[in-house]
Amino acid sequence: MTGAVLVAGAGPAGLAAAQALASVGQRVVLVEKESRLGGAPILSGYAKLVPSGEWAKDAIGGMVSGVEGEALVTVKKGTRVEQFGGAPGAFTARLADGSSVEAGAAILATGFTHFDSVNKPEWGFGTFPDVVTTTQVEQMISSGGGIRCPSDGRAPRRVAILLCVGSRDRQIGREWCSKICCTVSCNIAMEIREELPECHVYIYYMDIRTFGLYETSYYWRSQEEFKVKYIKARIAEVTSDGEKLIVKGEDTLVKRPITIPFDMVIHAIGMDPNVENASIARVFGVNLQEHGHIAKGSAYGALCETSRPGVFVAGAATGPETIDDSIAQGKAAAMAALALVQRRDGIAA
Ligand SMILES: Cc1cc2nc3c(=O)[nH]c(=O)nc-3n(C[C@H](O)[C@H](O)[C@H](O)COP(=O)(O)OP(=O)(O)OC[C@H]3O[C@@H](n4cnc5c(N)ncnc54)[C@H](O)[C@@H]3O)c2cc1C
Ligand code: SF4
């Protein structure tokens, strides 16, 4: 019997790692700081996921039930690792709940933090109730309440989606592209048009990054089938005339100022590094990269390594990632951790 593998974080990456390890007979201790498993898609109440179109509660909820029903996985919720010492094959972790875990390897699947739009005050979030974020719209859809203006519950007739809120913005120290928010925004725009066919939806963008095959199924489909309108613009501010929200900026294709009224403005928020990364790095003795994500080792040969031997990393802990890539990385980290514990136990040469 090999020692356990410690997995920190039970989002898509951590769940995939735990499931993969258990499926080959490896014991796992899964430590999640929240009282529920599932990571951002469950904790933030995402609706239908891209690209599968499955509801998050079914797709990721299914992963949660799989792991919770797995005898080889010990789940510890509502706690964190506070101390972590030892060497590959023989680590000891002390948890905030007072328990200890002996582990041959560890996988950090501690994910990301949603950008807080109050850090972009000129775009109206926190000042005007009908300026909302993509996560709030996901929750409106997943709760079954439909798309409604928070101020008075009316169905909006004109909606603006502003891309790159908290991403690609050097002024607020966030240079990275969050990878998924263009595609998520196209999807939300189509969902609004489907629920409210009379509602006009505009997407304001710097560039559209519906990467790979998403160009056809989200970008072009949203325009051709759902009549979503795209405006290349630099947004200066979101204000109100007392009745409507007013989006002001410059249309950068025709180089003209724009001032357009809307009922609802949606911020396509980006993916920040986990706010706890400094303490996670200190506890586990791993390096962070320049923006505060957990630094990866080699990009190819030794996938999922961190700067500390025996401690692996997967998913959005390393930077913006999609769910399917986070799952793939969780499985790759599981393979690396398994190889290590089996080597230490003399199972593999
Ligand atoms: C608005 C929005 C919509 C999105 N929609 C989609 C989509 O439709 N399709 C798609 O592919 N991607 C989507 N994404 C991206 C998706 O959220 C991520 O790809 C995914 O959540 C990453 O999974 P993860 O397991 O790496 O991290 P997370 O989902 O962030 O999970 C990390 C887990 O670790 C826990 N944790 C954190 N710190 C600690 C700690 N110190 N100790 C223990 N536990 C800890 C957290 O509580 C959490 O449960 C969206 C992102 C945003 C912002
Ligand atoms: S995916 Fe799109 S919205 Fe998100 S940061 Fe990149 S370019 Fe901006």
What confidence tens digit (pLDDT) does each residue in 190-216 have? 999 999 999 999 999 999 999 999 999
Indicate which ligand has the atom closest to the C-alpha of 279. Answer: 1
Indicate which ligand has the atom closest to the C-alpha of 322. Answer: 1
Residue 194 pLDDT: 97
Is the predicted pLDDT of residue 40 greater than 90, yes or no? Answer: yes
Contacts of 222 (CB under 8 A, 6+ apart): 186, 187, 189, 190, 228
Both ends of the chain: CA-CA distance in Å?
A: 16
User: How does residue 1 score in pLDDT terms, banded at 50, 70 and 90?
Assistant: very low
Is the predicted pLDDT of residue 113 greater than 80, yes or no? Answer: yes
Percent of the chain at pLDDT above 70?
98
The torsion angle over the Cα atoms of residues 324, 326, 329 and 334, rounded to 10 degrees, is: -110
Q: How much is the pTM? A: 0.97
134, 168, 187: residue to mutate for ligand 2 pocket, most atoms within 8 A of CB: 168
Cβ of 184 below 6 Å from ligand 2: no
Task: Measure the CA–CA gap between 192 and 56, rounded to whole angstroms.
Answer: 18
Least confident range from 245-254, 266-275, 339-348: namely: 339-348
CA of 252 to the centre of ligand 1 (A): 33
Give the closest residue to 185 by CA, choosing from 168, 206, 203: 203
What confidence tens digit (pLDDT) does each residue in 313-341 have? 999 999 999 999 999 999 999 999 999 99
CB atoms near residue 229 (< 10 Å): 13
Percent of the chain at pLDDT above 90?
95
CA of 46 to the centre of ligand 2 (A): 18
CA of 140 to the centre of ligand 2 (A): 22
Is the predicted pLDDT of residue 281 greater than 80, yes or no? Answer: yes
Which ligand 1 atom is nearest residue 43's CA?
A: 49
Residue 2 pLDDT: 54
Is the predicted pLDDT of residue 111 greater than 70, yes or no? Answer: yes
User: How does residue 257 score in pLDDT terms, banded at 50, 70 and 90?
Assistant: very high
Residue 298 pLDDT: 82
Cβ of 162 below 6 Å from ligand 2: no
Q: Quote the tokens at residue 221.
A: 């489909």
Give nearest CA residue, ligand 1 atom 34.
9
What confidence tens digit (pLDDT) does each residue in 155-193 have? 999 999 999 999 999 999 999 999 999 999 999 999 999
Mean pLDDT of 49-59: 97
CB 218 within 8 A of CB 50: yes
What confidence tens digit (pLDDT) does each residue in 237-249 have? 999 999 999 999 9
CB 187 within 8 A of CB 219: no
Task: Measure the CA–CA gap between 58 and 68, rounded to whole angstroms.
Answer: 15
User: How does residue 291 score in pLDDT terms, banded at 50, 70 and 90?
Assistant: very high
Cβ of 80 below 6 Å from ligand 1: yes
Cβ of 320 below 6 Å from ligand 1: no
Q: Quote the tokens at residue 33.
A: 């700081």
CA of 256 to the centre of ligand 1 (A): 39
Contacts of 127 (CB under 8 A, 6+ apart): 121
- Give 158's DSSP letter: E
Which ligand 2 atom is nearest residue 211's CA?
A: 1
Give the closest residue to 214 by CA, choosing from 206, 222, 202: 222
Residue 224 pLDDT: 98
